[in-house]
Structure 1
Amino acid sequence: MTDHDEAATVRPSTLTWVSRHLEAGEHVVGAEVLHGGLSAEMRGLTIGTRGGGTRDLVLRTYVDVADAEDRLDRETGALSLLPGTGVPAPGLVAVDPTAAHCEYPSLLMTRLTGRTVLDDEALELRVTLLARQLVAIHALRPAERPREYVALTTADTVVIPKGADTMVWAAAVDIIRKPPPPREGRFLHRDFQPGNVLFDIPPAKPADARITGVVDWATTSWGPTDLDVAHCSVNLALLHGPAWGLRFPEAYEQAGGVRAADPGERLYWLVRDGLATSEEVRSVARTWRRAGRPDLTTRVVAERLDAYVTALMNAPA
């Protein structure tokens, strides 16, 4: 097997397991590291076919991750649900959630066309497409619900960025001290953001941009639609500036999405996910830089997060 670099090497037992799930006459001929994941190793595998051609798969491996089995169970459930729904997602090939056959818990799936776009290319259109795609995800009605969402932060674990207005942040923290507003649950991706969406943007006709895939279904949950909206909003704010984080909820509603009717409840979810990000600014900034945004230093991300949370708190009700 030819590796694109040493880190791409597939571990022996895992390679044997992958080979057992290929078609007759197929074999792994190459591998490359795929960047962007926070908790899992991602590798693109090139598969040689009987006719002399190739096809591509993706291998997700969790190394020393305590909840790996749960993550793989949830992703397996989502990938089993999505075919035929109109939501573009990888096809499930095989899964080993307890590492019974691989060195570590692993999942093998098809590789989709398209690419992640993290710069400002066709940004207004992409935000509209993201909103429409999220509405479609929230319309899914699985026969078996995934587990309830888990809040990613508490009032006592928020990290106030250096130089931020402490009074504004204290007011934001006070919002999430209250119990979450009661809401009817929906199927959530739970990590829906530009880094997990693939686009095809024709260079000559960017207006024909389309989404070709949504990936990383490892944290699918059941909860309020506002939570997914909030998560995408804060990521857009960090990638492109606070105004784009504020724009996304509006785009979601324009696409037919339904959020909480009460402005205070909508603010609760937006603030909660913004404050959750405060605890992982360094790792988020590192992930974006590895994915091709060297300008997003820890300082820049912290400043954008501060500006976004401040804008949320100062926005008219």
Structure 2
Amino acid sequence: MILDCLSPAFPRSARILMLCCSGSLRAACGVAGGGSKASLSVHFARSGNVGELNAKDSSQETVIGLMGMLAGSFVVSHISSTWATWLSLMLLLAVHLGTNFKAVTAVALRTLNRQRTNVVCSAFLDTGEILTPRQAARRERIFERDGVLRWGESRVLGNAEIGVKLTALIRSLHQSPECKKKGEEGVSLTELANVFQNEKHLLWYDVQKRLVTICLKEKVSPEEQLKSWVHALVLAKEIRHRWPKGGADNSNRPSQQALLDIVRETLDDIGMSFTPMSQRLREAGWDLGAPVLETVPGYRVGICSIEITSAGGGRDDTTAKGGEAKKDI
């Protein structure tokens, strides 16, 4: 809207560019607003009456639009100077943005997205208290970077990517600086898969990037996705606690084996606390059945077992009874 009002003051070539930018921004705003409106409609339709809710919402928009046209006709008839026009525009825009900000902060969504998971789970692990959707909404940030791992309201611990390809996890496993320097391969995918044998996810922490890469297995449920994100949050906090510099100093960077041990320890801790936490989350009014942690279409990892038969008479540590062993891939 501001670009539209500014365009007459510029030459024709610049005016066309400004109008194109204005149209593009208006289209992007429409897409984002439509998606937000759909999410809010599902949130407020407690009885599944989304159609009825949308019909009432459309009627309200029509009435508000007519009232806006009447108010605009009154304002335009009393404004004649350029300064008065711009002053009215800025004032109305400020009121519009302020009321929208208040409306967004007043909504207490019951689904656990990435930011709300950080807020609620860190509060539970610190104090044993489960925040209600209303309490979590008061602590939620309107402008938060996507994928941030933040413990409560403190500084950022790192970032996380969920539902990525297996190749991203493999790259994270083998790009440790000390492994590249020594020519080592670091922790193998088989070792990591053994740690997560009974889980529906795989994850690894990249010390240099402070990035947790999360791969989800096939048929993973929304609750298991939530568990993987909580595991990533606890893992990032534990690594930051043990290595405050976060691996910035090469002499203070954890080894790959130490990271694997921490991954195993934090997984055991989450395994003991996640079930009672999820039960209390439901009692507090949270909806754990909505998969909202993935903001883009994600990938799934398939795990299969193959039989390896020992050809010779020798027997290694991986060989089971009858000269056969099963490995997960």
TM-score, structure 2 normalization: 0.25
Larger fraction in helix: 2
**Would you tell me which structure has more strand in proportion to its own residues?**
1
Q: Which has the larger radius of gyration?
A: 2
